[in-house]
């Protein structure tokens, strides 16, 4: 069980770190399922250990707006293209 829990921690930490590195909000990082045994809040997130250590999850906000994210990505792409034109970059 300890080995499985260790693998789950590493796996879920990957999801958590990837989301945070892309500025995606995370509500909760939990190891296990079922009722919460112990938890704490840090970095604007809730970290929990739950009763059944057979998995885990990273919970994102329910109001995650895909359209807004796509608009932000398009704005970033346009800003990059405009900068490329202004600085007269060449693509060999």
Q: Please indicate whether residue 28 is annotated as part of the active site.
A: no
Could you give phi then psi for residue 66, rounded to 5 degrees? -65, -40
Closest CA to 47 of 78, 70, 20: 20
Catalytic residue among 12, 41, 70, 74: 12
Q: Are 65 and 33 in contact (CB under 8 A)?
A: no
The residues annotated with a catalytic role in the active site are: 12
């Amino acid at each position: 069980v300890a080995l499985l829990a260790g693998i789950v921690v590493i796996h879920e930490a990957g999801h958590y770190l990837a989301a945070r590195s892309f500025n995606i909000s995370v509500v909760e990082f939990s190891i296990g399922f079922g009722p919460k045994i112990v938890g704490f809040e840090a970095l604007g997130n809730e970290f929990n250990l739950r009763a059944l250590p057979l998995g885990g999850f990273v919970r994102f906000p329910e109001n995650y707006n895909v359209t807004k994210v796509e608009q932000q990505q398009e704005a970033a792409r346009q800003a990059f293209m405009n900068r490329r034109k202004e600085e007269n970059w060449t693509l060999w």
